[in-house]
Chains A and B, each alone.
Chain A
């Protein structure tokens, strides 16, 4: 319990209030509902007992050498990132409703928006969304609003969880249709685009795609524009240290999962939705946006701006119902990007591509295994395995403590027995040799 009141405090306060007893204060609640029995542990734990319980639970999670990615990546979190995000002036503040008392959070958000805009090569970005999936869904929603069209064309390489989330967002409107651009050698089949794009609100594409392959975006934006549609691109922010930015290939909206920028995996969240767009769509951005302005004395300062789009003002006419953002995660990503800088992010991207290339080379050489696709990939690739991939994964985990990758059959049955294998900059040559050995032994 974290309540400071002593018995004497309570008595004095009731006296000041002028109520004979606490029960008088809650007379508005029908008494039959008050103080029911709860089937909960009779007593709470003291802090040392609670610490032991938490450590015990944490210890029940095992720590394999992990080669699973699929939208959430093993990243090293620099000490300075942890130090800044645990400063309680950031941690225990709230949405900057009083700008004069929130300049730290507001400037950090402005710098975050700048960082995301720079990485994605876009004109502007918002103060963040819940995660990559919700950013993706909101970007497609925005494209639908702008174009007034209801046909959503998406590449088969978009993260299936993103598509699930999008479909849930549109669950109430059966008039929306989803048209998949088929895979060709693991990437989007360009030849299919012109016909599919007719009457579309947008083309939603992810690169590197869910299968790890880097989509060839040359000429795609032109096709999209010709069809009167918008281009929505999802990209891993670390990959953008090296790879072409969505702005380079003409995206209208660009989104991504910011977990890559040094956030812990934490079994799925909190993560960080990155959302950016071209200037002409600035008012289509959902959620909070910080802007630079000046105070009465002409001094630089920051405020939340373009607020009239938001739920607390527009209520049932708001672009989105989103209220909170992921400010602390956004701060972590901003600090991470500032620590590595453009050179460091390029090195990180190279290390990812290099580790995955080395892993692909080793695993592709194992008898019975082969690389499913030939195209260029970033930090993930699809490996065909003999026998059941799911059984192989369990075996390697049990025998060697190596999580060799995600079996893809439930998501992409057409690919046969395959694993999606990921290697980030956290993996060494020795780790990858262990991975190869674990697979060989489990086969």
Chain B
């Protein structure tokens, strides 16, 4: 397929060649794009999709933007990711597995891959390594957070990318969006929540459905984790419950080890 002339507000826009790839993941973030039924056709008209294995049989190595879902857990994945990096002008990490390691990195917490393998495969040999985000292997140009990604955010980011507009994310926490949605605070509903320290941009997706935030988008700017710990304690939640959420998607790195240390004191 060749790039065709396309206009946006009367200005010609080159439809970039776009490829989608997935490593260790549930492929749910790519599916979120197909789940965009109402705007899918308009969205697709901005792009020339040359690779989308989950939905099409045609394939090509000639692309400008690569969207990569999933974390890296095997050497062959790392090698393929390097190839994609070489071919793409822009490499976008799609979703929390690609950005932080996602739920897959929970296996790293045991510091014992042999035990992890034995739990699932017994004595049968199986290849795996510590789950890593894409940025641990290659430079990443753009990160789209979330488990799953929010399709409206992807469309905004991709549109801005195609039009050459700047892309920025909120620095404030989910708590702000939750208040703007007039929700009752999850702590008042008797649930733990990472909304006060997690990066916004999801429109408080979970809290608006009365599920406390699990921090899938990673930390907001200067998160006050210590203060949140105090709030958790005041509402009767344990360090273990806070840690379950903080370590769930891999976005909070150092704060996880800090909480573990503080919890032992």
Q: Real complex partners, A and B?
A: no
Binding site for A on B (CB under 8 A): none
